[in-house]
Every structure is written in structure tokens, then in C-alpha cells.
Structure 1
Amino acid sequence: MTIWYAEHGAGEPVVLLHSTAADSGMWQGQVEALAERFRVITVDLRGYGRTPYRAEAPYSDAADVAEVLAGLGVRRAALVGSSGGTRVALELAAAGLADRLVLLNPVAGVPPTSDVRAYWSEEGRLLEAGDLDGAAGLTVRTLLGPHAPAAARERLAAMQRNAYELQLAADPEPEQVETELTPAAIGVPALVVVGAHDLEWFLRCARHLAGELPQGRLVELDWAGHLPALERPEEIARLLLDYL
């Protein structure tokens, strides 16, 4: 299955990989600015946005994106990932498809902290009770920083609720596989970004990953929560343009 994707602009390719609390719509505030200089490719992973949650065999998000890139004739690209999307970016980089990385509030091989465990537990309880709006609201309160505008909160709630609906409707539920990663073997420039208002687990993940990647550089945003691309879109657009 080919996942949903879109292209914008022309130039060197840049692939935007969304958080697993959102979909490709989280990049609305960056696409136009990036497309003035780059060929921007956005995707919806399975179970998000406009891609259904189904698979006839065990699948990989990274393999899905690699299939899209191969179909577009893209051999290497700058990969920008947010949260769960950073895992996809790292798997693609390990496969030799990245010439540089931007990893926003990444996940990494760090033991979960009590705050993220509490979030996951409460989210699971609300979903088990069928309260999708409550679970989406919890995500908004937990992941967005204190300066996020109302529009960002509404947008995230809508994207998260849509993902819940797609994934809960899946029958049977697809099996997803991940490739074991060795960040120390990923030798491309990597900017690791984290928000000071994020959960402690993500802060630890970012610091750990920046230290493991041979060309990793850490930037901490004092105003941001977990999804700075939604919280201050123009500022993250400038950050990406400056780095890329």
C-alpha cells in the first residue's frame, strides 16, 4: 500500500514526518516557507490523516516512506521528524536515505519516566471508555506548551481524534515492525530540538540522542512544549530554513 503524500515546491527534497499525535497537517505552518526553496514532501503514515489503518502483512512506517520516495525518484533527502516521526527519520537515515536530519522532540531508547507513563495510562483509560474527545483533550493539555494558541490546540485535538477513529476502527489491527537502531552509526548532520516545557522523558530522549549521534547538535527552546511546529509555526519555519 502506498501511503498518502503530497509535494510542494522544487529543489532539494525535504521530507516532513509527523508526530504520532497528529498527521501531515501539523506542518501547515512550515510547508509554504520551505517550498520557496525546497521540494517538500509530506506524508500521512498508516492510521493518520488520509491514510487508512490496514496492512495485509507486518509493515514498517519507514518502509512505507521509502516506497514513496522511490516512486518519486528521491534517493536521499533532508528528513524532518516530530516526536514519533523521528523514529521513522532515524530508520530511513540508517538505510542511507538521509543527507541530514532535524529531530523535533524525539523518542529514543530511554526508560519511560513517571510523567509519560501517567499520560499513556490515562489516555488508555479514556480510550477504553470510548471517550475520544477526552483522550484528545488530554493529549492537547499534555503535549502543547503554555504559549500555544487556541488554534493550535483545536487543530491538534482534531488530528488526534481522527487518528483514534482510524486506529480503533481497524479490524484486524495491523502488525507494525521496527528496525533496531544504532544512533552512533548514523553519520549525517543532525539537529535535535526539544522544548523546555516538554515531559521529562522527551527531554531525556533528546539529550541522549544528541549525545549518541556522531554529528548531533542539541537546541533547547525555552518557550516550547512537545510540538513546537504547532506552537510557533513561523519560528520553527525559520529554524528549519536556517539549518537546511
Structure 2
Amino acid sequence: MTLAHDVAGSGTTVILLHSTVCDRRMWDPQVPALVDAGYRVVRCDLRGFGETPMPDRPYDNAQDVTDLMDLLGVQQAALVAASGGGQVALEIAARWPQRVTALVLLAAAWAGHEPSADLRAFGEREDALIEAGDIAGATELNVHTWLGPHADEATREKTRQMQRHAFDVQLAAVEEVEPINGEADLAAITAPSLLISGRHDLADFRWIAAQLSDQLADARHLELAWAGHLPSLERPDALNPVLIDFLHEAHTAR
């Protein structure tokens, strides 16, 4: 199955991988800026998000993305990924390091991370709301938890719509199917990497960014004082220049 996707612009390819709170629409504020900066931008919906349906068998998100690259004739690309999409990007960069030219991870999840009490409490509360049939309540919990103080009401509503749609698609599945998550061998990742965290996010994601920046071969960590978990939505005016400057720097150095 081909992931739902769209392509804009021309030049070096940048692939955008969404948070599992959202879908590919979360990158609406980044696409025009990246195209104007001279990039070909590919964004896709992972399985069970946006316009990509749930699968009926175990699936491999990293393989899905590289299959899409093959379909589009993309041999190499920079990966820009948020939260759960960041975990997918790490796996791609570890399994196919020659295909990744640069890596930008925004509040990335990491398979090797042991959740804090706060993150476990969030998961337990979300599960309880879903079990009780309160999908609206579970949606609001996500909007409240994952957006920082600079997100305006339009951004909160857009995030609300994306999260509610994901719940509707995933809960309508006949049976629950889990992704196949491979362990990312961080030592195999060669791409220059920027790890971005937000001071208003849960501590887990600040810790992950710091750990990854220490363990990856060519990486640095940037903490944004204004940001929560989804800085690309919260303040694209502040995030986009950081993103574009890093991509230009990484590709100029090659």
C-alpha cells in the first residue's frame, strides 16, 4: 500500500513525517517556506492517520516511507520529523544511512526510552477516556498536553481535528494491528542531526533530545524556550528559519 502523500517544489528532497497527534496537515506552515527555500517537499500520512487507512496486518512504518521514496524516485532525502514520526525517522536513518542527508527531530520519541511518571499518567488517562467512550475528552487531553502556550486557538482547533480524525480511523479498525518497530542502531546513523526540544514539553522529550545529541555521531541539541511539543505548529515563524538554516548548512557541507 502506498502512503497518502503530496509533493511540492523542486530541488533537494525533504521528507516531512508527522507526530502521532497529527497527520501530514501539521506541516502546512512549513511547506511554502521550504519550497521558497529551494526544496522539493514530500509529506505523507503514516498508516491510520490522515488519508492513509489502517492496515489489516502488522506493518513497518520505516519500510513504508522508503517504499514511497522509491516510488517517487528519491534516492536521498533530508528527514524532518515530529514526535512519533521522529522514531520512524531514526529507524530509517539507522537502517538506510546512505539515503538520509540530514535529520531534524522535533520532540522525537525513541523506542529505547522508559516513560516518566508524567508520561505514563498521560497514557493511562487517555486509555481510560477511550475505554469510557469519551473520544472528545481524549482529544482534548491531547490538545491540552501537546500544545505549548504560544499556540493560538486556530492551531488548537486544527490539532483537535487531526487528533480526532486519527482516533476515528484507528478505533473503527476491525482489529488492532501494531506496527513493527525495529530498534534503531544509533551508531549506524551518519547524517548531521538537529535535535529540537521545547521547554514547555514533558521532560521525557527534552531528555531524549539531550541523549540523542550525545549519542549520534554528528548532532546538536537546541532547546526552544517558547515551545511545547509541537513547535512547528505553535510558532512556525520562529521555527522555519531554524529548520531552513540547518538544512542549508547540512547540504552545503556535503
Q: What TM-score results when the alignment is normalised by the length of structure 1? A: 0.97
Distance 1:87 1:39 in 2: 23
2:108 corresponds in structure 1 to 106
**Pick aligned residue for 1:144 from 143, 147, 153:** 147
1:69-88 to structure 2, matched below 5 A, reads: 69-88=69-88
Name the aligned partner's letter for residue 148 of structure 1.
A
Tell me how far 1:200 sits from its aligned partner.
1.1
Name the aligned partner's letter for residue 191 of structure 2.
V
1:122 corresponds in structure 2 to 125
Distance 1:231 1:12 in 2: 26
Deviations, residues 108-138 of structure 1 (Å, cap 9, x unaligned): 2221101111111101111111111111110
Contact residue 105 and residue 226 of structure 1 kept, 8 A = yes
Paired residue total: 243
Distance 2:239 2:136 in 1: 28
Tell me how far 1:237 sits from its aligned partner.
1.5
Name the aligned partner's letter for residue 73 of structure 2.
G
Is 2:237 the partner of 1:238?
no
Give runs of ≥4 in structure 1 deviating > 2 Å: 172-175
Gaps in structure 1 of 5+ consecutive residues: none
2:251 corresponds in structure 1 to none
Distance 1:218 1:148 in 2: 23
Tell me how far 1:234 sits from its aligned partner.
2.0
Tell me how far 1:236 sits from its aligned partner.
1.6
1:1-244 to structure 2, matched below 5 A, reads: 1-36=1-36, 37-55=38-56, 57-94=57-94, 95-96=96-97, 97-108=99-110, 109-244=112-247
2:250 corresponds in structure 1 to none
Q: What TM-score results when the alignment is normalised by the length of structure 2? A: 0.93
Distance 1:175 1:113 in 2: 22
Return 231-240 or 22-31, whichever deviates more.
231-240
3-state SS, counterpart of residue 29 of structure 1: coil
3-state SS, counterpart of residue 29 of structure 2: helix
Identity of aligned residues (%): 47
